C-alpha cells in the first residue's frame, strides 16, 4: 500500500462526509424547483449553508456556493474588480501577492490583459511571507486607485502563513476590500471569517475531506460582486447554476467535522511533520526546508524541501515507484516543466527550485507513512543525483523507473 503524502492536492473523504453524500445521492429534486422534492433539496442546501457558516464565523447569507476553489477565486478577483471599477473608474489597480495559487494569479493576469486592470504583484520574503512594507508603500501612493487586494491565508506550496490581520488593516484604511484564498488553511489553522475582517474568503471541499466539485466564496453582506457567469440568478444573483444538494451537504459536514477536530488534529499533524523534517535532514543534510523555519508560522501539515543536484520530477517518479506519493508543488501545475513561481518569488535560484518536493499530511496520515518515505529517500536521492550527472553528459536525462 502506498504512503500518501500529497494531502495538499486532495485528501480522502471523511467517513462522515461519505455517509452524508450517500444518503442524498438517490433523492431527486432541483433546489430551485417549487414542488416537494425541490423544497426537500433546498432544505439540504440551506441547512448546509447554515452549518458551514456556523463553523466559520460567518452568516448564512454570506455563503455563496461554487464548484470549487478555482471558481471562487475567479469570482472574487474578477467580480470584485469589476464591481469596484463600476463604482469608481479610478480603481483599476489589482494587488495580489506574488505567491498566490494560479487560481488567483491567472485571472489577475487575464484582467490585466483584457479588462484594463493594472496588476501589482506584491513581493514576499525568503520564507514566502508577504512584505507588508511593500503593500503599505503601494497603498500610500496609489490607495485611491486600488480596486482589490488578494493575499492567501496560507501558501499551498511552502505552507507560509500570511499576515492577514495587518493586510486587512492596511487595505481598509484606504477603502480597499480584501480577499483571501483559505483553501489550504481550513482545518489546519483557526479560520473565522467574521473575526478576520476579510471581505471575501475562498474554500474548497476536497482539501479537507469533502467531495470534489464543491467550494464556496464567503462574501460579507453588502459586498458588491459582478457575476462571472450568468443564468438562473442563484446565490445572490452572482453565481448562477443548479446546486447539487448531495455534494453541498457532504461539503458542509466535512467542514464542520474538520473544524471541530482541528485543535487536536493540528497538534498531531505538526508532530508528524516535525518527525518527517528531522528524518529528511538526517537522510540528506544538504536538503533545504523552504518556508518559515518556525513551525508556528507555517501549516502544521506541510514540509517543502529543495534537494541540491536533483530534479523534482525525477524524485517524484522514483518515490512513486517505491510506493511513496508526494508532489513537486501545486497539482494544478503538474506536468508543467518550469520551476515553481512561489520559490522564484522567494529568491530561490532557478536550478535549486527545480529540485523541489512538497510533502503534505492529512487526517489519514500516520507515522508509517513518514517511515516509508524515510526508508525510500536515501536510495531515491542517490539514483536521482546519478541520473542528473549522467543526463548532464547528454547520455540520459531522466532516471529509469522500475
Residues recognised as catalytic: 332
* CA separation for the pair 271, 114 (Å, rounded): 46
3-class DSSP assignment, residue 219: strand
* CA separation for the pair 349, 362 (Å, rounded): 30
Q: What are phi and psi of 171, to 5 degrees?
A: -65, -40
At 189, list the grid cell.
Answer: 489553522
Residue of 82, 96, 93 whose CA lies nearest to 174: 93
At 193, list the grid cell.
Answer: 471569517
> Strand 302-306 and strand 356-360: pairing?
antiparallel
> Strand 324-325 and strand 3-4: pairing?
parallel
* CA separation for the pair 66, 181 (Å, rounded): 14
At 182, list the grid cell.
Answer: 483559505
* CA separation for the pair 381, 310 (Å, rounded): 7
Q: How far is CA 271 from the centre of its chain?
A: 22
Amino acid at each position: 500500500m502506498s504512503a500518501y503524502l500529497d494531502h495538499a492536492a486532495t485528501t480522502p473523504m471523511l467517513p462522515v462526509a461519505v455517509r452524508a453524500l450517500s444518503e442524498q445521492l438517490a433523492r431527486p429534486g432541483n433546489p430551485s424547483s417549487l414542488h416537494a422534492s425541490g423544497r426537500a433539496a433546498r432544505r439540504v442546501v440551506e441547512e448546509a449553508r447554515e452549518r458551514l457558516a456556523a463553523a466559520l464565523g460567518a452568516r448564512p447569507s454570506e455563503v455563496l456556493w461554487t464548484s470549487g476553489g478555482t471558481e471562487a477565486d475567479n469570482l472574487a478577483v474578477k467580480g470584485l474588480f469589476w464591481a469596484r471599477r463600476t463604482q469608481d473608474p479610478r480603481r483599476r489597480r489589482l494587488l495580489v501577492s506574488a505567491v498566490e495559487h494560479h487560481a488567483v494569479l491567472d485571472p489577475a493576469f487575464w484582467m490585466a490583459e483584457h479588462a484594463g486592470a493594472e496588476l501589482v504583484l506584491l513581493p514576499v520574503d525568503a520564507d514566502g511571507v508577504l512584505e507588508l512594507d511593500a503593500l503599505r508603500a503601494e497603498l500610500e501612493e496609489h490607495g485611491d486607485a486600488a480596486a482589490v487586494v488578494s493575499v492567501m491565508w496560507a501558501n499551498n506550496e511552502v505552507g507560509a502563513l500570511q499576515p492577514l490581520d495587518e493586510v486587512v488593516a492596511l487595505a481598509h484604511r484606504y477603502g480597499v476590500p480584501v480577499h483571501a484564498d483559505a483553501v489550504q488553511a481550513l482545518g489546519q489553522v483557526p479560520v473565522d471569517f467574521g473575526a478576520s475582517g476579510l471581505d471575501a474568503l475562498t474554500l474548497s471541499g476536497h482539501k479537507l475531506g469533502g467531495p470534489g466539485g464543491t467550494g464556496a466564496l464567503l462574501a460579507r453582506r453588502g459586498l458588491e460582486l459582478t457575476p462571472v457567469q450568468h443564468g438562473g440568478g442563484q446565490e445572490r444573483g452572482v453565481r448562477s447554476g443548479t446546486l447539487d444538494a448531495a455534494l453541498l451537504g457532504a461539503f458542509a459536514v466535512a467542514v464542520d467535522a474538520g473544524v471541530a477536530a482541528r485543535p487536536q488534529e493540528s497538534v498531531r499533524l505538526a508532530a508528524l511533520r516535525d518527525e518527517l523534517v528531522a528524518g529528511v535532514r538526517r537522510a540528506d543534510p544538504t536538503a533545504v526546508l523552504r518556508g518559515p523555519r518556525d513551525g508556528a508560522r507555517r501549516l502544521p501539515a506541510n514540509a517543502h524541501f529543495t534537494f541540491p543536484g536533483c530534479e523534482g520530477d525525477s524524485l517524484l517518479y522514483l518515490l512513486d515507484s517505491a510506493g511513496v506519493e508526494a508532489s513537486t508543488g501545486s497539482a494544478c501545475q503538474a506536468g508543467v516543466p518550469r520551476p515553481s513561481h512561489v520559490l522564484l518569488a522567494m529568491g530561490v535560484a532557478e536550478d535549486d527550485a527545480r529540485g523541489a518536493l512538497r510533502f503534505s499530511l492529512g487526517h489519514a496520515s500516520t507515522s508509517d507513512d513518514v517511515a516509508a518515505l524515510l526508508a525510500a529517500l536515501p536510495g531515491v536521492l542517490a539514483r536521482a543525483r546519478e541520473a542528473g550527472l549522467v543526463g548532464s553528459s547528454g547520455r540520459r536525462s531522466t532516471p529509469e523507473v522500475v
